[in-house]
Amino acid sequence: MFENLELLKMAGAMSQRAGARMSVVAQNIANADTPGFKAMDLPSFAETYDESGAAMRATRSGHFATDAGAAEPSARRAKGAAAPNGNTVSLEQEMVKTATIRQDHDMALSIYRASTDILRASLGRT
């Protein structure tokens, strides 16, 4: 029953993406001193969700900009200035990313909680 609810699917995808992005950020931080290492990041959740095949409804023309992308989200190089040793990892940027990732994960959990509360209320189990 819960697998067929689109909102719960989206929250699950958001949670999975937060975990995958945290893994990429952790790898960046672990290689902060590795000469020549290029910082990586995942595409935005909107791009990832669009590529998953879940169609979002446009409410007016030009609402969504469509562009062809890869079938599966993969880590891509993050933009940034390179250090003299060729490393592009900025610990400050990575820490900001971790805060954003935590917010995304918390949002996914809030969606789950609100959805289960609504389902419980509809079943008369408050």
pLDDT at 69 over 70: no
What does residue 72 show for φ and ψ, rounded to 5 degrees? -125, 135
Residue 79 DSSP SS3:
coil
Average pLDDT of the chain, as a whole number: 80
The predicted structure's pLDDT at residue 64: 57
Question: 41 φ, ψ to 5°?
Answer: -155, 160
Q: What is the pLDDT of residues 10-66, one digit of tens each?
A: 888 899 999 999 999 999 999 999 999 999 998 877 776 666 655 556 666 766 555
- pTM over 0.85, yes/no: no
